Structure formats: C-alpha cells, structure tokens
Chains A and B, each alone.
Chain A
Amino acid sequence: MTKACRWAINITILALLLGCIGVIYKLTSKTPSFMFNCSSELFNHQQAKQDINHYLLVDLLSKEGLVQINYRYFNLDGSLAGTLSMQGVVNSVDTDNMIYDISVKTKQETPLTGNKQTPEHYKYLSYVSSLNLNKKGMHNLSIQVLERDETKDFAVVLFQPSNTVCGCRLVHK
C-alpha cells in the first residue's frame, strides 16, 4: 500500500470521526427550554354578512428538545370553538438570531361543529399542517424573536413560513 493510500484512508477515517462527533453533539446537546403564550382576536370578514369573530390562545412549550404547541379557539361568549395540539421536536436554536426551528411530527384536532362557525384560522392551520404532515411526515416551522423584554415578560415573534407576527407573553419556568 502506498503512502498516499494510507494518507487517504487516515484522512477519510478522521473526517468520518469528526462528522460522527458533530452528529452526536447535535443529537445530545440540550436545547434551551422556553414557554410562551399568545392571545389573539380573530376577525373573519364575510361578504354582506357580519364578521364572525373568535379568540385564539396559543401555548408553546419546549423542554429538552421536545415541543408542544396548543391552539385553543374560543367563541366570543367564551365557549370552546376547537382545539389543535401539535407535538414535535426543536431541530435547532440559533441563539444569536433567536430563531427556533421546529418540526411538528403529530397533531390532534378537535373541531367543535355545533351550530357555530368554525374559525377560518383553524381551517387554515388544519389544512396547511395536514398537507405537510401527509406529504413530508412533518410540519416545519421557525419562530424568530423580533423583540423581547424579559423584564416585562413579552416577546414579539415571527412564525415562518406562514409569515405571522404575534405578540406573546413569556412564561418563566
């Protein structure tokens, strides 16, 4: 075996080892925990009809790399209009840019039909997440903190790829 071959084998093994170390580090490094909740007023403009309005509460909890997102929809009278729960993992956290990259793996939906209208936001979220889960097996989203003040417990975040800005309360654990 020539010296060049030996070097090639050594470098290959070294590169593979470095790759493995990187992957192991990626898999085992702990991601920071976070929790926040966001409340929104939903308005649905309709043709020649009165708006159908709802409230939406979103709770986002992440611990040890796992993530749970709960969307709870309410009618104006306070009654529940539907829930959508998503479970997944935090793929990466870019602490410099405060970007959380999340993959949702499973979800549970409980639409409440009754005689009241299902919120449009619920329909949209259900449709998009089902599309991604059925097609790719996961629903990817990223959350970037645009503005944050921990002393006042608030953050303005941007959800992608839906391009949704939302103001949220930070919950300290």
Chain B
Amino acid sequence: MQLGHCRFDVGKGELTNLESGNVWHLPRAELQVISLLVDYQGKVVAKALLRSGNGEQPVLSDSSVARAVFTLRSFLGPQYEPLIETVKGQGYLLRHHRCRKNSHSNPNKINRHMPKLIALLTISLVLAIGSYLGLIALSGNVIPPPPPLKVSTIELTSGQVIKVLLYAHSKTNNTLLLEQELHMLQSLSHCPSSTWKRIYLSLSHDKQVLNITMRGEQLGQSIIRNLKISDLRQPKQFISKEWVQNVDICG
C-alpha cells in the first residue's frame, strides 16, 4: 500500500520511506491506527474505533491515538501529512491519493501513461505540421528554380573566355537546348573578340522560345542584351548563320 513516498506493509507492520530507505517498525498504537485508516480509506474512522481496534488488544487512550496520528504524519513528511485528515468531532480520514513523486520509478505507471503521452505528442505534431502547411499554402507555391543544367566556356582567338550557362525546366529531354548551345558556341568561335563575358541560354517550358541573355562590360559599365527567338516551325532552328550575322552576336 502506497502512502505518499512511503509504503505500508500491513503484514510486517512496517512503514518504509522509499526515498530515504528508512524502515519504521510500527508500534502497536500506530499500527492499529494506520491499519484501520487504510481499511476505511476515504471514509471517516471514528476515534472510538481507532481506540478499540479489532478488540483483541487493550483499548488505546485518546491521547495515544492522537500521538500515533502525529507520529504517522511526521513519518509521511510535510508533503504527505495532509493524507491523514482530522475530521473535527468525529475522527480521522485517510485520503485517496496518487503518488506523483515516485511515478517515474514505477515502470507499470509509465506504461499506463505512455498511450496518453503518445496521443498528446501526436496531436501536437499534427497541429504543428498543419500550421506549417497552412503557412506554406498561404505563401503560395514556391518553385525553386533549378541550378544551371550545364556550364561551358569558349576561348576566343583574342584569348578572351566566355562562359555559357544553360537553364532548363527539367533535367531530362534537353536535346534541343543542348543543340542550341552547340550552335551558340560555334557562332562565338568565329568572333575575334567580344564584349560578352557570360551568355545565358534557356528554352521556354513549351520549347517554343529560346531566350538568350548576354552580359558583359564596356568602359566600366555593364551591358546587357536579351534576345528572345520564337520558332513555331519543325524542325526548329532558333540559331542560324544568317540570324547570327544579322544580330551581330559578337557584340
């Protein structure tokens, strides 16, 4: 029988403090009082009954019962002494209680509370994920653009190096874009020199428009040129020799 942080062994007549390990072999009065209070736990036990006990022992005096209650409360300690309640004019009552301090030391109790803990954690997790998804939904669908599909360089006869970067909608089925890269590199190879340092190539997701962005510097100023070529023909020929000459690709 657990009483606060103590265990009462009615057979041995002992009260053991589970924290300190102290064992108290109860004197007759204390044993009689605590046994009756345990038998009638949650109910008021009249002083007369506490004095007389089961009738096999001599009747205790009122002061012996009061002293027994006092010493029992002292052993239970300040935290659990209210377990034995004085009911004025009637007697004493042993309260029902749950031992909190020692629950961690009882594996059965842990097992009993485990489903509740799991349920609580699950609810918290679901709510946290729900809130996060709500925020994501509120912020719209952010589609992180992919890194360059390919980066290549070409060295002109002047020794100048131009970097060509390809940006694709996906990592597969980019034959057309890679063909345009080849055309672009071939066209640039004919340039003796160029103002461009970087050239970005991208095909629209429906592969109808080739976007060319050329970035360079001239007299300390940045220069940018955007060319967007639509070609609805089949087969497509975004970059042709004629077109390259017309637009002065070298810059």
Interface residues of A (CB under 8 A from B): 4, 7-8, 11-12, 15-16, 18-19, 22-23, 26-27, 38-47, 51, 56, 91-92, 94, 97, 99, 101, 103, 120-121, 124, 140, 142, 144, 146-147, 149, 152-154, 156, 158, 160-169
A22-B131, A99-B145, A152-B222 known; A166+B211 contact, CB < 8 A: yes
Q: Kindly identify, within residues 207 to 245 of chain B, every residue whose CB is under 8 Å from any CB belonging to chain A.
A: 208-209, 211, 213-215, 217, 221-222, 224-233, 237-238, 243
Most buried by B among A43, A51, A121, A144: A43
Chain A CB within 8 A of B78 CB: no
How distant is the Cα of A158 from the Cα of B146 in the complex, in angstroms?
A: 10
Chain A CB within 8 A of B251 CB: no
Q: Are B227 and A41 in contact (CB under 8 A)?
A: yes
Interface residues of B (CB under 8 A from A): 113, 116, 119-120, 123-124, 127-128, 130-131, 134-135, 138-145, 167-169, 198, 200-206, 208-209, 211, 213-215, 217, 221-222, 224-233, 237-238, 243, 247
Most buried by B among A142, A160, A165: A165
Q: Can you list 19 pairs linking A and B with CB atoms under 8 Å apart?
A: A4-B113, A15-B128, A19-B134, A27-B138, A43-B230, A45-B229, A51-B243, A91-B139, A124-B204, A124-B209, A140-B140, A142-B144, A156-B224, A158-B145, A160-B143, A163-B204, A165-B167, A165-B211, A166-B213
Question: A136 to nearest B CB, angstroms?
Answer: 10
A4-B120, A42-B230, A156-B215 known; A161+B205 contact, CB < 8 A: yes
Q: Are A121 and B209 in contact (CB under 8 A)?
A: yes
Q: Kindly list chain B residues whose C-beta atoms are within 8 Å of the C-beta of A4.
A: 113, 116, 119-120
